[in-house]
Amino acid sequence: MKISLGAKVNYYSKCPFCGTARAEGSEKCINCGKSLLQITEQENTIPDEDKDMALYQARDEKSASETFKSLSGKGKLRYFKDYYLGKVVLGVIIAALAIGLLYSFLKPRQTPALYTVIVVNPFTPTGYDQFMADLEEMLITDPKHQNIVLDNSYSSLVADYNSSMAYTMHMAAGEIDMIIFNKDELKYQVNSEALIPVDQAISKEVYDKLPDDIKIKVVPTYPQENGDFKEGEEAVYGLNIEKFLERINGFETSSKYCVAFTRITEKHDTLDKVVKYMFDIN
**Cβ neighbours of residue 11 under 8 Å, at least 6 residues apart?**
22, 27, 36, 37, 38
**pLDDT 10s digit of each residue in the chain, 282 long?**
555 555 566 778 888 777 788 888 788 888 777 887 776 555 445 555 555 555 545 444 456 666 666 666 677 677 667 767 777 788 888 878 777 766 565 556 789 999 999 999 999 999 999 999 999 999 999 998 999 999 999 999 989 999 999 999 999 989 999 999 998 899 999 999 999 999 999 999 999 999 999 999 999 998 888 878 889 999 999 999 999 999 999 988 766 899 999 999 889 999 999 999 999 998
| Domains defined along the chain, listed by start | 1-45 (no CATH), 48-107 (no CATH), 111-278 (3.40.190.10)
Beta-sheet strands, E only, within the chain? 7-11, 37-42, 111-119, 146-154, 178-182, 195-196, 215-218, 221-223, 229-231, 235-240, 257-262
153-183: burial string, b at 16+ Cβ within 10 Å, e else? ebebbeeeeebeebbeebbeeebbbbbbbbb
pTM value is: 0.61
